[in-house]
């Protein structure tokens, strides 16, 4: 029976190929999009982990005031002293307060506008950065408000600066700074790149760009990743006491990476599902293509069906013949589609630098779905063929 189907399909190769193409495109896009979705999720998750799993980020303003929060400055409740107090707590490895503003940076003939971040030497440790060239500025630079700068990888590239530029002078907002280091790139984790910033001592930032003793964010590195919850509780108690607020009216919030990670993973899963869903529509279209061609085929071969019935074929023999034809198209199309889809997702993952996700479940599902498409869309034409009245079929011209 299978041999019969193959030889039948062989006699109208172009038509079979075109019908199969519909299934190939459908299956390939499902496999590729699901693969890309998983790859993207995996890639971004890996980068989020690169942010430092021990990292707690304290921001001003209670989380529950949510969308009604005022301008950032108006709710600036965190201070340099808060940061100092937190650093003294046990279980805390490092603390770095941050202030930030936007700045126009010029290096020779190149210029760019970027985030100017004022912080302390704890920054690389807390934010899990490594230094690519030069060094990070030290505590003395902070104590003396030195005009030294460490550039993010992207900013350095934008300004055409490489390792040979360490020691060179660049200007930020017209103020000259000495370039002391360039950070290793981390890759983008969202619209704001961590690699696009100019980092200067927090005291220097206060002196030249943002006055006052308020800080935008305090980054805390917890000594033991298993003690994150305990650390959060200790920090909350400490800041509550310092700010004189009750537990029900906190004027700060603490975000941890684990929370962000799990949020992102679920978003990623939804994304993969959504992409797969969209791609299934093309699989559906491929299925309709099979049904269309099978209906035409049944009509064209009405006489053949009549002959087969006359020489002893039962309805179910004819049904099987046409179903197997539809299944053959969809299965071969499915297998080719999987190969094409995997190739596409490997290519995209390679270009984007994600780990290649090879999921046997996706492959099995794709095979299953292409077979299902063959059955669902093949059964109607096959039943039509099986039910043909032999005398009507034999008279058909």
Partner 1 sequence: MTAVPLAPELLVGTPLIELRGVTRVYSTGRLEVPALRGVDVDVWPGEFVAIIGHSGSGKTTLMNIIGCLDRPTDGTYRIAGEDVSSFDDDGLARIRSRTIGFVFQNYNLLPRTSALENVATPLLYQGVGRRERLERAKAPLERLGLGDRLTHEPSELSGGQQQRVAIARALVTEPALILADEPTGNLDTASGEEVMAILHELNDEGRTIVLITHEAEVAAKAQRQIHVRDGMIVS
Instruction: Tell me which residues touch partner 1 (CB under 8 A).
Output: 3, 11, 303-304, 306-317, 390-391, 394
Which is closer to partner 1, CB of 170 or CB of 318? 318
For residue 5, the minimal CB distance to partner 1 (Å) is: 13
Find the radius of gyration of the CA atoms of the chain: 32
Which is closer to partner 1, CB of 3 or CB of 174? 3
Which is closer to partner 1, CB of 31 or CB of 305? 305
Q: Give the whole-angstrom CA distance, residue 272 versus residue 292.
A: 30
For residue 383, the minimal CB distance to partner 1 (Å) is: 13
For residue 397, the minimal CB distance to partner 1 (Å) is: 10
* DSSP assignment of 8-64: HHHHTHHHHHHHHHHHHHHHHHHHHHHHHHHHHHHHHHHHHHHT-TTEEEEEES-GG
For residue 21, the minimal CB distance to partner 1 (Å) is: 23
3-state secondary structure of 374: helix
CA dihedral 367, 369, 371, 374 (to 10 degrees): -140
Q: Which two tokens stand for residue 141?
A: 């630079």
For residue 25, the minimal CB distance to partner 1 (Å) is: 29
For residue 376, the minimal CB distance to partner 1 (Å) is: 25
Which is closer to partner 1, CB of 185 or CB of 307? 307
Bridge partners (DSSP) of residue 119 are: 201
Which is closer to partner 1, CB of 42 or CB of 390? 390
For residue 31, the minimal CB distance to partner 1 (Å) is: 35
Q: List Cβ<8 Å contacts ≥24 apart for 387-395.
A: 387/315, 388/302, 388/305, 388/306, 388/309, 388/318, 390/306, 390/309, 390/310, 391/306, 392/306, 393/302, 393/303, 393/305, 393/306, 393/309, 394/303, 394/306, 394/307, 394/310, 395/306
Which is closer to partner 1, CB of 283 or CB of 385? 385
Smallest Cα–Cα separation from 39: which of 31, 27, 50? 31
Which is closer to partner 1, CB of 10 or CB of 191? 10
């Amino acid at each position: 029976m299978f041999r019969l189907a193959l030889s039948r399909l062989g006699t109208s190769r172009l038509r079979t190929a075109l019908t199969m193409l519909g299934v190939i495109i459908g299956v390939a896009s499902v496999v590729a999009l699901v693969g890309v979705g998983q790859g993207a999720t995996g890639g971004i998750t890996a980068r989020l982990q690169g942010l430092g799993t021990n990292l707690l980020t304290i921001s001003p303003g209670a989380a529950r005031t949510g969308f009604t929060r005022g301008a950032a400055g108006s709710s600036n409740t965190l201070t340099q002293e808060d940061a100092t107090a937190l650093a003294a707590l046990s279980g805390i490895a490092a603390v770095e307060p941050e202030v930030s503003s936007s700045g126009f940076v010029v290096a020779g003939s190149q210029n760019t506008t970027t985030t100017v971040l004022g912080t302390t030497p704890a920054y690389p440790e807390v934010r899990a950065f490594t230094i690519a060239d030069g060094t990070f500025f030290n505590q003395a630079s902070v104590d003396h408000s030195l005009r030294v700068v460490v550039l993010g990888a992207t900013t350095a590239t934008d300004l055409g600066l490489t390792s040979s530029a360490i020691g060179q002078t660049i200007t930020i907002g017209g103020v000259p700074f000495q370039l002391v280091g360039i950070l290793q790139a981390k890759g983008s984790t969202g619209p704001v790149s961590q690699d696009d910033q100019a980092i200067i001592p927090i005291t220097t930032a206060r002196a030249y760009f943002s006055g006052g003793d308020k800080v935008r964010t305090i980054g805390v590195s917890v000594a033991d990743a298993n003690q994150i919850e305990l650390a959060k509780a200790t920090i909350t108690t400490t800041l509550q006491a310092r700010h004189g607020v009750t537990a029900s009216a906190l004027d700060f919030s603490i975000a941890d990476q684990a929370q962000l990670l799990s949020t992102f993973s679920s978003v990623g899963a939804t994304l993969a599902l959504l992409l797969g869903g969209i791609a299934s529509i093309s699989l559906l279209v491929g299925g309709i293509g099979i049904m269309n061609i099978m209906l035409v085929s049944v009509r064209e071969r009405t006489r053949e069906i009549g002959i087969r019935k006359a020489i002893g074929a039962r309805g179910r023999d004819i049904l099987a013949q046409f179903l197997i034809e539809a299944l053959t198209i969809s299965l071969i199309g499915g297998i080719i589609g999987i190969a094409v889809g995997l190739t596409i997702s490997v290519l995209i993952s390679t270009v984007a630098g994600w780990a290649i996700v090879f999921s046997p479940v996706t492959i099995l599902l794709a095979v299953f779905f292409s077979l299902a498409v063959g059955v669902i869309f093949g059964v109607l034409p096959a039943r039509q063929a099986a039910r043909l009245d032999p005398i009507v079929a034999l008279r058909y011209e």
